[in-house]
Each structure stands twice: as C-alpha cells, then as structure tokens.
Amino acid sequence: MKTFRRMACLSLTLAATLSAAPSFAQETIDVTGWGTGNVQAVPIHEGRPWGWAVKDFMDNPDRQLYNTAKAKLLAGEQIFSHSISRFDIDAYCSEAPDYDYTWFEMQHSTLRYDQVADMIAACPNVGATPILRLPDASEGAVQKAMDMGMLGIIIPTVNDAIQAREAARYARYPPIARRSAGGGQGPGLWTPFLPAGETFRESANDNMLVVVMIETVEGVNNALEIASVPGVDVVMLGNADLSSFSGLAQDSPEYRDLQIKTRNATYRAGKIWANASTRMAQGNPLAEESLMYLLGPSISERAANQ
C-alpha cells in the first residue's frame, strides 16, 4: 500500500505541474466548433507523450511484450477488437488472428469463467491479445481472469479513484500490487513465448493491461484521480452509457466537452485514452488520440484501406 500511495502522489504531482511546462514544446489540438468552446484540449508536450506513465510503471520498459495490444498502444497505434460473448471455440480461434485484441464479454453476457478459459487455451497466442471485460473489480473476479491467462481486464463504470484502485490492485504481482500466486493455466499458456532465462512471474506485470471505463458524469469529474491511480493503463469512455447517464446525445457539444475533459485528465496522468465507440476513430479533432476501441475494422481491412 505504501508503494501505491507513493506512486499516486508522484502521478498527481506530475499531472499538476504539466500545465506549467514550457509552451515551446507542445502541440495544440484545435477543438473549435466541436465542443461548446468552454473546454479546450490541453496541449501535448514533447517530453510527455501519451502513455509515458504506463511505460514508466513497467519493470523493463524495453521488454519485448507478448501482449501485442499493449505494445501497439505504447507505440501510439490504434487497436480494435472483435467481441466474444458466447462459448464458441471455433469462432474465437478463426476470428482472433485478424484483430488486435479479443474483447471477451462477461458484463453483458452469461459466459462462465471456465468457458472463457477453455477458449483461450484452445489457441494460445493466436494473434489477438485476450482481454476480459469483467462484471466488477472484486478480488475473486480479477484473480480468476489472471489465473486463466488473461493479459488484460476491462472494468466497467468506474466512478472514483477507490474503484480504480480495486481494478488495478489484483492484476499484478507484489510488490506493486496484490495478485495472488495461484494456480491456473496462465503461466503455462505464456511461458513458451518468453525469452530464454525469463520466468512468467518476471514478465507478467509488464504484460498486463488494465482498462477502466468512465461511463458517468461523476466519473468524468473524477477522471484525473481515476487516471492517476498506479496500475491503471487505459481510461476508456463507455460512450453509450455516458450518453445514457448524462442525458446528452453523443453528437452534442456538451457531450463532447465530457470527452475533452476525460481526454485532458488521461493525458495529464500519462495514461492512454480510449473510446468504446468506433465513431470516435475518425472525423473529429481527437480521433488520432483515442487509441483503443470495442469492435472496429480488422487488421486486414485496415491494410486494404491504406
């Protein structure tokens, strides 16, 4: 807990001082005419690229990651998924090679943990990084995801830093978090892809991706605190639910202000900003900065359109 508190204070201090950085080393994003005009996008500073704190949190930032989705995000690439919400090994193994990651859906489905475990065991390292949206961030839920071999978790409806801490605290081993040294198939799935001489335990923390979803106005208002939690890597807007909970249409300037606010907070904390809806992937001033989406074009479709 001391490590968490110390790093949280560091993140908040860096975030607070970022706006005072010299103006000559920045890139300004013009959102004029997109939002209401009451909220502006904070500039991107040359020495603080997107996701710098994610990389800084790694034991070995130069490590070659078998979590290829995380590697792409750290390289500034956009990633898209297919979604699996029912038990279908054939569908998973045939679709996954053409996507950046698989969004296994357990918040809005009746999928069981053993079914998800069986699917990823059927074709490990198939291409798409396996990431599981859990119903909540309870210790039991996160530990099961870790034991089955997930390389990422997505936690819905995170409203404050306490909930964000719960999302991150069981996803990595000590001393930086509280992942239990349980059994499960995870080590067996990923050990074959490790460099010679390295153990799964040594690589697991760096290869983990923790995504928290902000879906309420309360979450937007607490976005900087949420994003600054050590171990949170990606802050994703749940666009449909944010519209539902706020009462604002997704194409309204007021809704876009909420997006800009969350984008600003995520950048200040040095994390990666994302939107669930692929509507944000193009046709707006922030499209290039939102790096992770639910669904979207496959790898081959994007290559064909280049």
45 tagged catalytic? no
pLDDT digit string, tens, across residues 14-62: 544 444 444 446 788 889 899 999 999 999 998 899 999 999 999 999 9
Q: Report how far residue 143's alpha carbon sits from residue 177's, in angstroms, rounded to the nearest whole number.
A: 12
Give the residue among 232, 231, 252 at the shortest CA–CA distance from 243. 252
Query: Which letter, b or e, does each residue of 24-50 get, where b requires 16 or more Cβ atoms within 10 Å of its Cβ?
Result: eeeeebebeebbeeebebbbebeebeb
Please, which pLDDT band fits residue 195 given cuts at 50, 70 and 90? confident
- Encode pLDDT of 82-133 as tens digits: 999 999 999 999 999 999 999 999 999 999 999 999 999 999 889 999 999 9
Element housing 133 (H / E): strand 129-133
How distant, in Å, are the alpha carbons of 19, 92, 250 from that of 96? 41, 6, 30
With cut-offs at 50, 70 and 90, classify the pLDDT of residue 181: confident
Domains of the chain, by residue range, sit at: 2-7+51-304
- pLDDT value of residue 183: 77
Count of H helices and E strands in the chain? 14, 9
Q: At the top level of CATH, which class does the domain 2-7+51-304 belong to?
A: alpha beta
Please give the pLDDT value at position 91: 96
| pLDDT, averaged across the chain | 91
| pLDDT-derived band at 134, boundaries 50, 70, 90 | very high
Calculate the CA 253 to chain-centre distance: 25
The mean per-residue pLDDT over the stretch 255-271 comes to: 97
Q: Which of 5, 6, 86, 108 is catalytic?
A: 108
Other Cβ atoms less than 10 A from the Cβ of 17: the count is 10
Summarised one tens digit per residue, pLDDT across range 281-306 is: 989 999 999 999 999 999 999 999 88
**Could you tell me the pTM of the whole model?**
0.90
pLDDT of residue 20: 47
Q: Where are the beta strands (DSSP E) in 28-90?
A: 44-45, 81-84
Which whole number is the average pLDDT over 246-262? 96
What is the pLDDT at residue 270?
98
Which pLDDT belongs to residue 35?
93
